[in-house]
Amino acid sequence: MTRRCIYCGQDHDLSESDIIPDALTNARVLNRNVCRIEHNNKFSDMFESRVIDALGFITNELDIKSSKGKKYAAYDVVVNIEGIDYNLKLHGDNEIFNGRVIKSSDNKHMISSYDRAVKIAKDESKVQSLDINTIEIQKKVSINNEIFFDISMYRMLSKIAFEWYCAKNDVSGYCPEFSDIIDFITTGNGTNPVSIIQEEEIYKMVDQLGNLGSHILFAFEKEDGEIDVIISLFGLLMYRVVVAKQKPSICVNNYLYTELRTDSSRKEIVHRSTEEAQERFYGMFAQDKLVSVGVFNGVSIMIPKIMASMKNVGIYPLWFNITQYLSEVNTDTIKPNDIINRIFLRQLKNITQASTLQKKSIKRFVNENFYSGHETIRLNPDTSNKKATVLFYVVYLIGISEEPELNDMVLQKIIKEGLPNLSNGKFIVDDEMENSLKRIMMENENYSAILEKGAEKVISWKN
């Protein structure tokens, strides 16, 4: 069958479209039926780049980087050093003190390497040394939450929902049932198909489905034939996108689930309908598919005969409840309000006070802090950086471990033994926990050497 663009029907100069922009996910998902210029490349300038730029701090926190660039996205920050504000654009925390010249907001102070500072000042008496391990540093980041209600965001989410649903149904060519959403994506005109879910319990349920910072998408058909796609963007806010008012006859898969994780792994479930999914789930526990493994305390213990049939079984109960509620109730909004602001701040706190303890985030942290020629690491008890503290502690645990080499299994063993409160691959830390982790490390007079040893193991980790 000839491949055609799902936006216009063109059958030539097609390309692979990153359904979610490459800079916003470590787990790429593609639609191959999109024309290269008009309905792929141009979307970046139309709306995607605006969203990507505004979310630079979030992608940095989650260790997400475009495969097309060498650096993580930049974000604006005010760094207060010894009571003086410096307005900076950073790609990561280590860039504050990397030898470049930074000027204070009032243009009265400058910070750089000592030699460079003396050269600029032309008078050594005007240069004051700073010990970055003891000075007090505060980092203030302003999140532009307006982007989450901007038409650029709504057009990008519409594109994601449309291309993802089409990919799951092998749609090739223009389909008139999608005309409304295509018009909105390509021109920004027409009825906005996107709304924001503001039921707080739904957010709590979706948090249980996925990992920290994941994108979660699921689709379902309502009783009137409308196709809705729900998008949880980084777990911050959840959006409903009406992809089609009536299900296209060519689309047979209408109960869908995808989780795209920050470690680049994913979970995928495809069903034709809710009924098919329920039949499969409840069928897993049919008597003829179970086998007894014995009787304990008078109770017969049964397990599935074929364990492979249980893949992703934990998702189904919550998924059923969420989609049933959302198919029957719509209290959505398109504008910020007190409820949405409360949800957003709570979800943002979860991201900024948690560390994703995975190979990629740990290797990035080590590369940025234990580079060749770096000064001895000395922790500052008077500053707060919860994510950095947890990652330093993980490097410390690796350093004191008797394991000579790292692999994924060894890393998880070290982390679980050293951080017993670890939950679902993330570790949320409050002020008390941060101070406790620092105290544990700093009470060991050799902690700097232990950190170096742990960093060496991480740097040597090849596979």
Instruction: Give the pLDDT confidence of 429-454 residue by residue, as tens digits.
Output: 778 888 899 999 999 999 999 999 99
To the nearest 10°, report the CA torsion of 311, 316, 317, 318.
120
Instruction: Give the pLDDT confidence of 368-398 residue by residue, as tens digits.
Output: 889 888 888 999 887 778 888 889 999 999 9
pLDDT over 90, % of the chain: 55
Query: Exposure of 451 by Cβ count < 10 A (0-12 exposed, 13-18 middle, 19+ buried)?
Result: buried
The residue-averaged pLDDT of 106-122 equals: 84
Is the pLDDT at 251 greater than 90? The verdict is yes
Backbone phi, psi, residue 112, to 5°: -160, -170
Tell me 168's DSSP state. Answer: H
Instruction: Give the pLDDT confidence of 265-306 residue by residue, as tens digits.
Output: 899 999 999 999 999 888 777 767 677 767 776 677 766 666
Backbone phi, psi, residue 133, to 5°: -85, -10
Q: Can you read off the two tokens belonging to residue 90?
A: 């950073």
Classify 115 in phi/psi space as left (phi over 0), alpha (psi -120 to 50) or beta: alpha
Q: Which residue in 405, 402, 399, 406 sits closest to 452, CA to CA? A: 399
**What type of residue is 334?**
I
Instruction: Give the pLDDT confidence of 39-85 residue by residue, as tens digits.
Output: 999 999 999 999 999 999 999 888 898 888 778 888 898 988 888 99
Q: Which residue in 21, 42, 46, 44 sits closest to 31, CA to CA? A: 21
Residue ranges per structural domain of the chain: 14-49+146-349, 75-140, 353-459
| pLDDT reported for residue 15 | 94
Instruction: Give the pLDDT confidence of 131-168 residue by residue, as tens digits.
Output: 776 777 788 888 878 999 999 999 999 999 999 999 99
Q: Can you read off the two tokens belonging to residue 311?
A: 């893949």
